[in-house]
Structure formats: structure tokens, C-alpha cells
Amino acid sequence: MKLNKVAMAVAFTAALGSTSVLAANTNGTIEFQGELVNTACGLAPSSSPVSVDFGQVPVSALANGARAGNVQKNIELQHCDTTVATSAVVSYTPTSLNPADTTLAAFTSGTASGAGIGLRDSASQDVVWGQPTTAVTLVDGTNNIPFVAYLKADNAASNVTAGAFQSTINFQIAYQ
């Protein structure tokens, strides 16, 4: 009988142990998204949007037409197929132009004023909004299209007003 009571105690303890294991389950979900495109390359997820953070730039750094910030970034292309295209050009278009200097993208929100944002392409040429940049030669696989973003006082500004700012520049890639 003692053996029977021991067996029942062991069975009861095992049942409680298995119940606590089942109670510890956690359920979740995996969501998928993407887009199939009929182009030479696909845009890497990190490249839309590309985030450029200038951090804090002193107003004095923009004196006498100087460019400041100079943040180098890349547009990353993935799964490139050079049998489809061997080069790419980028056209950049700001959502709003700086009215005092149309070579600069306007600050579209925030309190900073008297300055704007410009870009240089992969060949260190100033970007002309809406015009194709210098072509970048593609290789099979992953490719980077570098650019440099900078801040500059606009032509009409007698002084630059400090404050936060935001802006958006769209890009379009054409394959050749």
C-alpha cells in the first residue's frame, strides 16, 4: 500500500509539472510585407526611408555660405541583376523648395529658418533637383548609391534662426 501511495504522489507531481509547462506557452505572430518589382534591383528595406540625422549644428557653422553637417548616407539596392541593367541614376525632388534659394530643400516643419538642405551625388557633384545624377555602375547583388546631405544658409538670409527642423526629399532611380 505504501508503494501505491508513493506511486500516486509521483503521478500527481508529474501531472502538476506538465501543467505548469503548458501554462508557460506564449503565442505570437510573424507579419510579412514586401513588393515584387520588375526592375534591375530592389530597394533594401533600410533605404525607404533613408534617415539623415544632422544632430546639433551650430548656426555659426553656416556663416559666409559655408556648408555644414555633411552627412554621408547610401541608398542600398539589393538583388541587382546586371543582365537587366548595368547602371543607375537617381533623381532627387524635395517636397518643398526653399523659396529664398531653390537649390536647397526647405525646412517643412520646425522653428529653424534661414537655411535649407542640399545634396551631393556619388561623384561629389551638387544635385540639381529633378535632374539625373551621375550614373553609378551596378554589379550583381548588393549596390550602394552614396550621397552627402548638407545644411547651408539660404541666399536671402541675413541671419539663420536656431531651432529644430524637418524636411523630406523623394528619390527615383532609373536603370540603364
Residues 22-32 pLDDT 10s: 578 888 888 88
8 within domain boundaries? no
Among 3-12, 121-130, 147-156, the minimum mean pLDDT is found in 3-12
Band (176; pLDDT cuts 50, 70, 90): very high
102 within domain boundaries? yes
21 within domain boundaries? no
8 A C-beta contact, residue 151 and residue 110: no
Residues 6 and 69: their CA atoms lie apart, in Å, by 76
97 within domain boundaries? yes
Q: Write out the residue range of the structural domain in which residue 144 sits.
A: 42-175
Please provide the average confidence, as pLDDT, over all residues in the chain: 88
**CB-hemisphere CA count at 13 Å for 7?**
4
Residues 49 and 102: their CA atoms lie apart, in Å, by 23
109 within domain boundaries? yes
Band (77; pLDDT cuts 50, 70, 90): very high
Name the grid cell of 130. Answer: 529633378
3 within domain boundaries? no
26 within domain boundaries? no
- The SS3 assignment for 77 reads strand
pLDDT attached to residue 6: 54
pTM, to two decimals: 0.80
Across the range 141-167, mean pLDDT stands at 91
pLDDT attached to residue 3: 54
141 within domain boundaries? yes
Domain count, the chain: 1
- Kindly report the CATH number assigned to the domain that includes residue 104: 2.60.40.1090
